[in-house]
Structure 1
Amino acid sequence: MHESSLLMKQSGQVPAGDVADSDTHPLQVKWLQPEDTALCARWDEFVLACPQATFFHRAGWLQIFRDVFRHTTHFLYAERAGAIEAVLPLAQIKSWLFGNSLISLPFAVYGGVAANNPAAAERLEIEAQVLARRLGVEHLELRNVKQRHADWPMQDLYVSFRKEILPEVEANMLAIPRKQRAMVRKGIKNGLSSHIDSTVDRFFALYADNVHRHGTPALPKRYFAELQKVFGADCEIMSVQDESGRVLSSVLSFYFRDEVLPYYAGDDVLARDMAANDFKYWELMRRSCERGLHVFDYGRSKQGTGSYSFKKNWGFEPQPLFYEYCLYKRDAIPQNNPSNAKYRYFIEAWRRMPIGLANRIGPLLVRNLG
């Protein structure tokens, strides 16, 4: 018997595959291995077809977490008669500074289980709880789009912003509220242009400088290069430059089904005066419209922040995210984010640190934030 199934029996929880089933084929829980390319392809086929799945359920994240961040991964899937019915990607972050946790999924706005049926979803969530106890983590975190456990503590700090991309380019321009539309037109009048980058170089220079000015560590440059390598055409960098060729703003976006997800971004100090940030997101929307995409996913923002207000100014309405926690060795959900007052002095000190030094030591810290 599998170790997790044995633990479940000892705790009084019986796995779905061990009870009578109307189907002659029992539901089995297995672990994805990155070297099994055929299985990874099957996993991704399921993710693309499952309405509950997101870009962050893709198999490629397993390789990124192992190779870039050196985190232990547990990508679980439920299978019946050779067909995948549910997936649950998990990664463990074990840090002396930020604690020991099991998350679906670190560095992702969405996560949790994606399933074709409730039985498979429940089976994987039970397995995740058993795994969390066996690993001795302080908490299990599932970054759900929809609420699944009303009795679990929930982090209500973040919301997401999603909106339909209209079929015609001009219709999308007119759908932007008047004041924000004026900023987009300002960027156009300033002669700005957008370009697709083949490397992460220009993007990373802006991104690293941007997060440094905000007092937070930058993710390693290698991480962004690996995203391009693993996800190929589904990970794209678009940069905005002025008429002299100076790059002012850049965004790294993910593509999933008929959606575009601008995910990481950076801006030069001159970007605001030139309306380069506004122009950037318009250009991404325009290009996405011309590609026939249907959803613009602006990602998550903390409530009450400048990012939150900026996205609302585009006519996007916030939608709640249900980050649910199962607590084991702590009494409350963690607050490892810049909004936590205890990080105020660290943020101020980080802003004053030379950027070269910050870029060298930052990845050692940020890998454990998730």
Structure 2
Amino acid sequence: MKVLVQESHQLTPDNPPAGDKFFCDERWLNLVETVYGYQITRLEVRGSDGQSSCGYLPVCTLRSPLTGRRVVSLPFSDVCPMPVADTPAANQLVDQALELGRQSHARYVELRIGDSQYMRERSDFVASDMYVRWRLALEPDEDTIWADVQKPVQRQGRKSRKMGVTIRFADRREDMALYHRLHVGTRTGKHGMPSQPRKFFLELWDRFAADGTLQVLFAEHEGSTLAGMVLFAYGDTVRYAYGASEERFLHLAPNNLLMWESIAWAKANGYQLFDMGRTAKDNHGLMEFKRKWGASMDPLPYYYSPRMAGLASTSESSRKYQLLTTCWKHLPLPLASNLGGMLYKHLG
């Protein structure tokens, strides 16, 4: 673990939303390092006593022969908050990230820290507004939450139940291999994108299942697994992280039932927010799907210096993106699984 320390006289850091701290958890950072072989630097600003923390930001140095060199906070993370005491501490952290980029000859620095007044005041970064996040407040009772779901979605959920679809929570490590199979099929056939390697999902189980942070649900019917959903339960938030389904079973509406059962589980277990995750603004189908659940949309800017670059800044409607996805959709699933596992680390 590598830490850079600078001194500040402010001693009380602001706290980002509790659920967002998942992506700063050492277990997540270690998982990213282990699975993808990245080097993560834990940047920190400390107070004049040398002990108290006034700011913290993990950043990752990526060196890829396919996608070049860059510094990112943080790959494969929707948002990586930067808790700081004040503007000077924030600027010290960002300056450290820029210096790390210069030392590693990076093409650009990308900070996925969420909407930030500190970053808005910096002229050496540009903001990308390609993404939003959808979050559902869980303070109301369950009946009120259900009433806010649009009627077509409610009907699909009831239909799924009436047709005999059931929900099972994963209770063994082998279930992650089952989810990975679903995930590869969805990423390949529907999205036309490489999938995380099988090892990633097994590591998720090993690091997060024991204390309940990881929850994995499956929709099942007459001995078949129709769909799966991966949740991260952290702080006051349950985050919808990944979802996958068998296209031939979509007439049974398993995804709607999975989503509702996930929301109901989060409410029953005392969580305050259900985070439906990052969504590209030009993915109109997914935007509408999340809107129908009664969730609120919030901005999710990413910040780049000296310019926007990389996959996270590529529009899903661009020719480059469309060419990649069209080609990938034609791959046989075994080949897509193996290739995706090898290529995915280059996409962070």
Out of 195, 201, 206, the position equivalent to 2:168 is: 195
Aligned residue type for 2:291: K
Coordinate RMSD, CA, aligned: 2.5
Q: Give the TM-score of the pair, scaled to structure 2.
A: 0.87
Partners of 1:83 and 1:66 in 2: CA distance? 26
Q: Give the Cα–Cα distance (whole angstroms) in 2 for the partners of residues 261 and 51 of structure 1.
A: 12
The amino acid of 1:231's aligned partner reads F
The 1:321–1:268 alpha-carbon spacing in structure 2 relative to 1, beyond 3 Å, is same
Shift of 1:346: 3.1
1:253 is paired with a residue whose SS is strand
AA at the equivalent of 2:193: T
Partner of 2:100: 131
Secondary structure of the 1:249 match is: strand
- 1:366 has 2:337 as partner: no
Map of 1:297 onto structure 2: 275
Contact 2:23/2:29 (8 A) holds in 1: no
Matched AA of 1:180 = V
Cα distance in structure 2, aligned partners of 1:186 and 1:349: 35
Which of 250, 263, 267 is the matching residue for 1:285?
263
Pairing 1:55-204 to 2, within 5 Å after superposition: 55-80=22-47, 81=49, 82-147=51-116, 148-150=118-120, 151=123, 152-197=125-170, 198-199=172-173, 200-204=176-180
Q: CA deviation at 1:167?
A: 4.4
CA shift in 2, pair 1:219/1:307, >3 Å: same
Deviations 1:170-207 (A, max 9, x none): 22211212222222222222222111112302211111
Which of 230, 249, 272 in structure 1 is aligned with 2:227? 249
Identity, % of aligned pairs? 24
The gaps in structure 2 that reach 5 residues or longer are: none
Q: CA deviation at 1:348?
A: 2.1
2:291 corresponding residue in structure 1: 312
Contact 1:251 1:262 in 2 (8 A): yes
AA partner of residue 334 (structure 2): G
Q: CA deviation at 1:139?
A: 0.8
For 1:238 and 1:355, locate their aligned partners in 2 and report how far apart those are by CA, in whole Å: 23
Correspondent of 1:333 among 303, 309, 314 = 309
CA separation in 2, counterparts of 1:212 and 1:50?
Answer: 35
Letter in 1 for 2:198: K
The Cα offsets for residues 68-98 of structure 1, whole Å up to 9 and x where unpaired, read as 1001111222233323332201112222222
Partner SS state of residue 137, structure 1: coil
Alignment CA distance shift 1:275-1:4 (3 Å):
closer
1:225 aligned to 2:202? yes
Q: Secondary structure at the match of 2:119?
A: coil
Structure 1 segments of 4 or more deviating over 4 A?
49-53, 335-338
Whose RCO is larger (CA < 8 A, sep 6+)? 2
In structure 1, C-alpha distance between the alignment counterparts of 2:132 and 2:324, rounded to whole Å: 25
What is the count of residue pairs matched by the alignment?
A: 331
Paired amino acid for 1:135: S
CA distance in 2: counterparts of 1:109 and 1:153, whole angstroms = 18
| Alignment match, 1:43 | none
Report if aligned partners of 2:196, 2:344 keep a CA contact under 8 Å in 1.
yes
Q: CA deviation at 1:4?
A: 7.3
Find the structure with the greater CA-based Rg: 1
Alignment of 1:1-20 (within 5 A): 16-17=7-8
State the shift of 1:292 in Å: 1.2
Structure 1: 5+ residue runs without aligned partners?
Answer: 6-14, 28-45
Partners of 1:62 and 1:164 in 2: how far apart? 28
The residue identity in structure 1 corresponding to 2:92 is R
Give secondary structure in 1 for the equivalent of 2:247: coil
Whether the aligned pair in 1 keeps the contact of 2:111 and 2:303 (CA below 8 Å) is yes
